[in-house]
Amino acid sequence: MTERKPPGVSWETWADKQIREAEGRGEFASLPGAGKPLPSLDAPYDELWWVRGKMQREGLSALPPSLVLRKQAEDAEQAAMQAATEAQVRRIVGEINDRLREALRRPPEGPPLGRGLFDAEQVVADWQAARAEQAAQAAAQAPPPEPEAPVKGRRGGLFRRRRPA
């Protein structure tokens, strides 16, 4: 849009012409999100929609650091229960305990943290109990083994045909 609006042409006509020409050159064909619905089309009106979008894209949080750490601790506890191995459980608990230890040493801004360190042995015991319960439920829901089919031999079955002698 480097050219100026010619005198005597209405703004709407001039803008429509610019858009039509750009569309003809294919300048709108490769835009990100082309052919997709707007992500916030059904969302209620929010005056600060652009601020929230920018914060989400930048990975920022509007929560105080103490509440963010509380949320991370809850997420870590759930992740530990979903872990595949005991080593993963211990690694997850160790990482969150390091963050909690630092927060207890130097309290972050915001409301009090309100939680202590995780007991790694207790979390591992809970994880093992949950795994054992899942295994028991899976065994209870498994269909019973099918009876073996009778083996056909040379002798035949109950209603065998007699051979003439």
- Cα angle for residues 36, 41, 47 (degrees, 5° grid): 135
Q: What's the confidence (pLDDT) of residue 4?
A: 76
pLDDT, tens only, 141-157: 877 667 776 655 555 55
Residue 92 burial (C-beta neighbours within 10 Å; 0-12, 13-18, 19+): buried
Residue 120 contacts residue 94 (beta carbons within 8 Å) = yes
Q: Given pLDDT bands bounded at 50, 70 and 90, which one contains residue 65?
A: confident
Count of C-beta atoms within a 10 Å radius of residue 93: 24
**pLDDT score of 96:** 95
